[in-house]
Structure 1
Amino acid sequence: MSRVVLALDTATPAVTAGLIRLGGARPELLAERITVDPRAHAERLTPNVLAALADAQLEMAALAAVVVGCGPGPFTGLRVGMATAAAFGQALGIPVHGVCSLDAIAAGTSGQLLVVTDARRREVYWARYRDGVRTGGPGVSAPADVAVDGVAAVAGPAAVAAQFGLPVIDREYPSALGLVGAVPDWAAEPEPLVPLYLRRPDARTLAERGLA
């Protein structure tokens, strides 16, 4: 049976909202809005959702499920996407599936692939894949500490991917089709949404700083 899925991701500088129809021979992209702005997750996500719905000439009531990237990514960006996904799910009474955002970039690829995104502090978030299936990670490391033995290509933002001296494939950010493709089993009950921060936030309590 045909159903429409809302796909969201704010784990990277790209604010992604898309609509995918499931039920045919392969997922069909109905509409997608992506804004690349690391400071505009909160401002752009809902407008991008509404614009995608308008592009597809659909109402909110047409949505049957939500899929959202859960990182790895920074705290603020992840919070916006995951909170929005949970709100849509609760308001519409539909399931919300969380996926690793790096899996969404790798979905549908072949061969051995490294996916990287910017973790700031001169580090990268990374994961390794074989034919789109994760075989290592996700992790956060300095680029020099990421093992690339056996890897045929790298995907991710161009400036980040270029640090590894490997062929770069044109997949910089999670797409709506990639997010849908990263869901392992649409028939299964979704697990609770868990953000993949991979490291502690910069903010610390007084006790953690030894000042209490």
Structure 2
Amino acid sequence: MTNELSCIIVDDDYLDRLSVETELNNLDCLRLIGSFDNATEAAEAINRHKPDVLFLDVDMPEISGLELFKSVSEYAPLCVIISSYPDYALQSFELKVFDYILKPLTTERFGETVKRLCDFVDIKEKAKAYTTLIENEKVIFKEGHNIVYLNISDILYLEAFGDYTKVVTSNKNYLTLATLGGFLEELPSEKFARIHRSYAVAKEQIRQIGNATVGVGNIKLPIGKTYRSTLSQIRP
């Protein structure tokens, strides 16, 4: 990613707002341009400056964080909800928020979200240079003027980034302009398993299956509740 991302915080709780501000002060890739205790003032600043990222509380007086996001979503900012209430998560993801963090905010959890944010923006910046084909057990990536032939057997796992998919190998990551579900449809179905709304793994690369995670190489990936049954027939 070549440039830092501008962001705005909206939370009616001063200490929660300060917590996010403190985390942002320790990061180089995000630049805070405004912090507000109400959605009305925030909406004016958002429409004026069009920040790349919004960090929003949900439960606020007069206008909720989700209502605020809907009102400014036309220019497609990335939105991270930081809330004390898990009940709004489903509605938030239906509105295509980028992530949903439960309070109290921790440095580790916030750092994970920021890394995914930066990776996603990096993918979007590079995606126009990539063309992907799949044939004869190979994924063919066109990177500008270069053509890369990747054996399907070299893929460790796939990670969803909205309309894009990151293809992860032990040596390098690649990009494809396809949703995770769409990309999986092009791959041999017997070789991959969807384990989470954001992840699919190569079955032969699985080293360990736990109650909540799947081990692939040195990486542990989360298992989504609705995908547990797909792993019952797999033996690492």
Structure 2 length as normaliser, TM-score? 0.28
The structure showing larger relative contact order (alpha-carbon pairs under 8 Å, at least 6 residues apart) is: 1
Structure 1 length as normaliser, TM-score? 0.30
Looking at secondary structure, tell me which structure has more helix per residue.
Answer: 2
